[in-house]
Structure 1
């Protein structure tokens, strides 16, 4: 499993709806509201045999209310 973090920028007033839709998909390990340029931060474990971009695009980026996302790949833990 590969761990990635995805930040979501939501349309004004849509953050809670987006968060509910993300949870409904049952693919995030953790989901946080954040301050700054993005509204939500999700920790996701993606199976090794899955393409990260396709996985996120097909399962999350199509959620209504998401204006922008930023995916951060992770590597070895120290």
Structure 2
């Protein structure tokens, strides 16, 4: 499994709804509320051979209330 992170910017007042929707979908490993340019930091795992772009496009971007995302790919845990 390959971990990756998605920073999510939500419509004003919608961050808790987006976080709840992600949790209910059971697709995220961890969900954090953050301060700054993005509202949520979410950790996901991709199966070997799974296309991360398609995963984010189909499973994350489809959630109402999301305005913008930034995907961070990881290579090695220390």
Unaligned runs of 5+ in 1: none
Deviations 1:6-46 (A, max 9, x none): 01000001011101111111011100000000000001111
Number of positions where the alignment pairs a residue of Structure 1 with one of Structure 2: 78
Unaligned runs of 5+ in 2: none
Matched ranges for 1:2-41 at <5 A: 2-41=2-41
Runs of 4+ in 1 over 6 A off after TM superposition: none
Q: CA RMSD in A?
A: 0.7
CA distance in 2, matches of 1:52, 1:69: 13
Once the two structures are TM-superposed, the CA of residue 66 in structure 1 deviates from its matched residue by: 0.1
